[in-house]
Chains A and B, each alone.
Chain A
Amino acid sequence: MTLSMTSRLSPAHAVIALLIAAFLLIFLVVPVITVMYVAFTNSDGSLTLAHFFSFFQLTLMRESFYNSLYVGGMSVLISSIISLPLAYFTMRFQFRGSVLIQTLGVLPLIMPPFVGAAAMQLLFGRSGSVNLILNEYLGFGIPFMEGLNGVIFVEALHYFPFILLNLTVALANIDSAMEESAQNLGASGFRLFRRIVFPLAMPGYLAGAALVFLKVFDDVGTPLVLNVTNILAAQAYFRITSIGIDDPIGYVASVIMVIASLVALWGSTWIMRGKDYATLQRGGSSLAKRKLKPWQAVIAYGWIVLVLIVVLSPHLGILLLSLSKVWSYSIVPDVYTLDNYVTVFRDSSGMMANTLLYCGIAAGLDVVIGTAIAYLILRTKLPGRQWLDFAASAAIAIPGVVLAIGYLRTFRDFQLPFTNEPFTAFWLIIAIAYTVRRLPYALRSCMAALQQMHVSLEEAAENLGANKNRTIYRVVVPLMAGGILAGFVTSFLTAAVELSATIMLVTAQSDAPMSYGIYLYMQSIAGRGPGAALGVIAVVLVGLGTYFSNRMIRNRAAGHAAQMLKTGA
């Protein structure tokens, strides 16, 4: 049935669309284009590829380029090795504690990798706990944290949940009849997985893999904490902050990062082009979970326990570090103290307040813009509305460092009225960067909420006498509330641990948010204790926020979901 709402063009819609378009233009499109422009032009404005040539003539830059690709690719690989068994075993076999494993699997997401990196050095480094034990009993060590290994190891441990979550959803959405008919025709075990299950779950896997790649490519904090500087994000950061805003090499690095991100995103959709794998059939019985044979159970549980221990080690490490006075060359800290927390609360309460302020503004703007775009796209016929979605979503492919460089360059001559302060030094620019960077998350959340709401729910309201605005107020927003809240929380929490743009945009200590504070502390050995304490506080806050918002959303949505699905049938 064709569901076309009354398609009168409303001036209010056009005004809202123009406002959003202006915001995206000023704070996303123009800065990114500025970066590209600088990378491709001479000082007199003529087009050139000279900067790219000089970029690739520098050994350090060539090395950084390869290293970034290598780290991104290896992180995806390691993440896949961690995620595939976790997802498959828990979704397809009778498994004790499946829920626990799925929940624990999400835990790494609430701690940004640069926070855990220092602790991982202490646990897995050359003279870290694990290698101390290995040397003691077996006489050899494993170079987990040597150079790029460390970055890959930490990134994979933190970002594998993107693959795990997407894969889990994909596995849950496979119509059970697909697998049952394969079994009925004689496929089982690994062949069943390889020929039926994995291909059907492929879109989910690729979406997750692309995200991991983007995240790793974007991350500047982890390599810096681990003292790895020969990767692109770090080089872009150094070039601009130490050599200057006019150095073209930093812009070339930025352009290459954007291109690599776009290729990763485009590649993941290109592989799946024309393959519509929406296999979920409503009302189908769920697949009976299979029983593991004893030897399989041993292997499966063994692997999962090992993964969980490693996955939780940054959290444990950071906790130990925050409670330690001295911790070096020993398996666990020698002396315990609460001093670090005292220090942090004395010195850094301003940073916590800043985080609340910036992330509150960013998340608030994100859900307002997200809801508006979702409504314009799904419920109006406004010409060009798809471009809003496209532009807002494109932010995901723009690394934080690049966006920040764009801001610094674009707004460098722009002064605030009255105070004559440069705009680039104003704290609001950090909040705006967060808004733009987290908009894709909030937007997807709002889109999903509106998408699963059957249009007849709104038509019924209009039919009973409510005009468009009344319908939005009484039906659309209340029913989207769960999705809007989820979008707010995701934006807020992920912004709270954002470092890539923050690191470039913080100009005064007093304007710094928590993530920057953690990074600063981690720079020095003496600061690691307080840094870890601040990290623990951030993780606890983010964790609690996630937990309570999930509960709230679930309670609120549980009742609605059933009805909305029924209505949408």
Chain B
Amino acid sequence: MTEQSGWALLLRRNLAFFVVLVALPPLSYLLLKTPWFYTDTLVTTAIFFILVMGLDLLYGLAGQLSLGHQGFFAIGAYGVAILFKHFGWSPWLGALCALALNMVLALGFGRIVLRLTGLYFMLGTLALGIMVHAIITVWSPVTGGDAGLGGVPRPAFFGIALSSQTAFTVLVWIVAAVLFWFALNLSRSRVGRALRAIRSDEVSAAANGIDVMRLKANVFALSAAYASIAGSLFAVYFGALHPESFSLSALLEMLLMLFLGGEGSIWGGLIGTFVLRLLPEVSGPLHGYKILFSGLVFTLILFLFPKGLAALFRRKKPAPLLQTEAGALPAAAPDASGGLRVNDAVRSFGGLRALDGVSFELASGRIKSLIGPNGAGKTTLLNAISGVHPLESGRVEFAGRPVERLRSDEIARLGLRRTFQNIRLFSELNVVENVMVGCDKGSEGSLMEFVRAALPTPGALSRERRLEHEARRWLHAVRLDAAADQPVSALAYGHRKLVELLRAASAGPALLLLDEAAAGLNNAEKQDFKRLIRDLREAGTTVLLVEHDMDFVMDISDEVIVVNFGRKIADGSPEAVRGNPQVLEAYLGV
């Protein structure tokens, strides 16, 4: 694979965008000749496209279905109108204020409702949307109430008069195109990958160093910003607002546009919006059937094309060549020391004490096995160390600092990675992208990361290229490169287990926790796993693994710790543990 320069990548990836930019002047000349009727459709298409892109960033990437976006849309529109009507501010200034208000609201409200999952998040946002609609309907002295609010002018935009339809159409489409470019970049960037990981599995995303809450809050705010911009343009274009445009039906229309086009693709929204804005124009006499028709289309789309019209255009990836020869493992020495010290760990579930004061130490660079009968507290201990379910009391020290109060993504970014007993790969990402999440070493999800992802520099793009290259080398090392572009669901059980191990190992962790490391693997695969774990240790990684296969454990471990009923009953070299009478009793009942 040749290293391409970042600039070339930047040009190639955005070729379509530059073509549109060049084609815009002749297109706008053509627009001058079109009847008013169609330019109206064009403007509303662009406005709703912006709105739907916002929804798609939130649902298509992060999997959070907001039922309150008509509220952000309304604030964007009414912000402009109210600030003009009561304070005489220019609509562009008003749009900026509404944008700021929306983002602050979304960040604050997001902090609260994003803690809720699934249905409750949807209902929380639904309540927000209804609340905004109620306020603009009832608070008539400020919002005009049911009668609406009119008289918003269409001022010049940096000296360009927008009084003509054409000028405004061009402006709206330029704004839409720029926002489209941002959204598309974002969805292809590492931030987009992290968001898809969150959509697939939040626990596993956090265990891979992704700050789930922060990313969700920021993408929620970003999506509110898109809605706000759409609302402000809506206000300036129509000059008059009515609460009807921001009711529950507005939400349903946006959702229909999103799902008709296809969620998760960003550009699918354009198809959905265009179809739904154009239809009422061509179906004039059938107007009475409009609602029925939308409902029918919405229902059918969900049943027949759950991925929307965009799925019809998706390219099929060519079948890859089979690869037989394994490459070298690209493991690198970790930055931190993987030493681990657990002190008096306690955790109970109801009346059951799953961990009852376990203490042990693991020196850097060693392989330790954690064994014990079913229900002994092994997984609970791994969950406590990795921050998935924190301890009630006790201390965990990793890389020389206490970590028992840290979230699991914070611990992961300190250099700890783990696998799960029931494999938790990211189903929204393909095999190589799953490993790329590992190579990327987590994401703090700051707003700066979002900006960098939306405006890719050549440096960022070549870094992304390097990541992919590295992930492919990892896959090559275990002879999985043929499966690199497959969805993870297409892999066999053993291969999925292997990919999860690679995802964890490719982050170059100082400490690697493996839950049921070799469970369910056949003998050949077990040998592969053993080789991999040994290679990782050679590179400097410390390993703590849970396993039931005693041959595997005795062969690979430098030391073994045995727990039963939440207590440690033995700790030492494999030979010493094998002869320990208490261990024999726990295992054989003698």
Q: Bound pair: A and B? A: no
